[in-house]
Each structure stands twice: as structure tokens, then as C-alpha cells.
A and B are shown apart, each in its own frame.
Chain A
Amino acid sequence: DVKVTQSSRYLVKRTGEKVFLECVQDMDHENMFWYRQDPGLGLRLIYFSYDVKMKEKGDIPEGYSVSREKKERFSLILESASTNQTSMYLCASSSGQGSYGYTFGSGTRLTVV
């Protein structure tokens, strides 16, 4: 069964910490995405990548960065965590062309205290 795996299901971090969220897919997909999901705001795109070492800003990139050193792995980095970054973070991948939809990971619920 094809999968998108996020390294942590729940995470609690302190304000100011550097936080790494890892995502690995085993489907040989070119495209990978990071979203956050908050009640009433829906899914908001943070960053995405169409290729190794390539990244593009989504709708809300402020306070985040990403890394894609290998095709299967896409990392989201919170440089200095703040309480307003408490959220559900979802990683997704796709094979390209937008025709087949995204496969999502199980999500990481991050709480910043």
C-alpha cells in the first residue's frame, strides 16, 4: 500500500524552538506539499516542491522553510516556533499534472507552548 509518512503524530514544542517536521513518500512522486489546517480556515498551502532541491512558496510561507534533498523526503522547518503556529500540519504528494489528486500523510498536530 502506497504511503505518505509523517514522522510524528503529536508534537509539543516551546516558543522559540526550531522545529523539524519530516515527510517521506514511497510512491516515487515528483510533487510534495505542506499544508496547515485550522478550524474555520481550511487547508492552507505553506510550501511545495516539484523536484529535488526545488521549492516554491505557497500562500502562507512566513515563519517556515523547507528542504528537499531527496525525492522521497520533504521537510518543513519552523525556524523559531511561535504559539500562532500551533496547528495540524499535513504533508501530501502527487505524481504530477494535477490529474490524480494528492495522497496525504496522517498529519502532525503541533502545539507550541
Chain B
Amino acid sequence: QKEVEQNSGPLSVPEGAIASLNCTYSDRGSQSFFWYRQYSGKSPELIMFIYSNGDKEDGRFTAQLNKASQYVSLLIRDSQPSDSATYLCAVNRGRDDKIIFGKGTRLHILP
């Protein structure tokens, strides 16, 4: 089983709708969870992190964590064409500072 799994996409969402990106992880002891956005040809940029079960909101972004189900999600409200990118889910297992990255989900916002 892969440590961090994401659907590779592409996920196509109409402009103005909610984009929902999902991620599962295998290590039940994982403690920190991150979402990175990566535009084509650019480096990853941290957009959200979450440590506790529940929701965390920042502007149009909401990260959701369910440790019992080992599931992390990212919701993007009022999707804009500028949100078109690859979104990487990442997990820290808590044993050291190494973060495990998923392979990413390509998101395409349709104008």
C-alpha cells in the first residue's frame, strides 16, 4: 500500500463551483498534514496544513482531516481558473521531519 494516495485526475470543475480533492494515508500515527499547490513548471507552494480532526478554513480553502478514516481533503470554494494546478497531499508521520508526498491531483477549472 502506498503511503499517501491521491487520484491523479485530471479533475475538471466549472468556474465558481466547489473543487474537492481527496487523499488517504497509510500510517495511522501520522500527525501533520499538508496541501501544496504546484503550477506547471513551478515548485510546490504550501497552501494549507492541519493537525487536528475536523475542518480548518483559510479564505476559499478548507482542509478536512479524519484520522479514524485516515483521510484528508481540500475543498476550494468559488473555484477560479487560477486554481488550475496540481495539488499535492503530504503527511508527516511524526517520527522525524520527513514529509511523505502523494503524486498529486491535477485540477482544471473550466471557465
Which one of B57-65, B71-79, B95-103 contacts A?
B95-103
Q: Are A102 and B46 in contact (CB under 8 A)?
A: yes
**Chain B contact residues: over half helix, strand or loop, or mixed?**
loop
Question: Chain B's nearest CB lies how many Å from the CB of A99?
Answer: 5
Please name all residues of chain B whose beta carbon is closer than 8 Å to the beta carbon of A45 when the two chains form the complex: 98
Q: Are B43 and A42 in contact (CB under 8 A)?
A: no
Chain B contributes a number of interface residues (CB within 8 A of A) equal to: 24
Classify chain A's interface size. 20 to 34
In the complex formed, the residue of B with least CB distance to A30 is: B97
B19-58 contact mask (Cβ, 8 Å, vs A): 1 or 0 = 0000000000001101010000011111001010000000
Please name all residues of chain A whose beta carbon is closer than 8 Å to the beta carbon of B36 when the two chains form the complex: 101
Which one of A13-21, A71-79, A90-98 contacts B?
A90-98
Given contacts A90-B44, A101-B90, A103-B46, 11 further A-B contacts (CB under 8 A): A42-B88, A45-B98, A98-B93, A99-B51, A100-B49, A101-B34, A102-B46, A104-B43, A104-B45, A105-B43, A106-B42
Residues of B with Cβ closer than 8 Å to A? 31-32, 34, 36, 42-46, 49, 51, 88, 90, 92-94, 96-99, 101-104
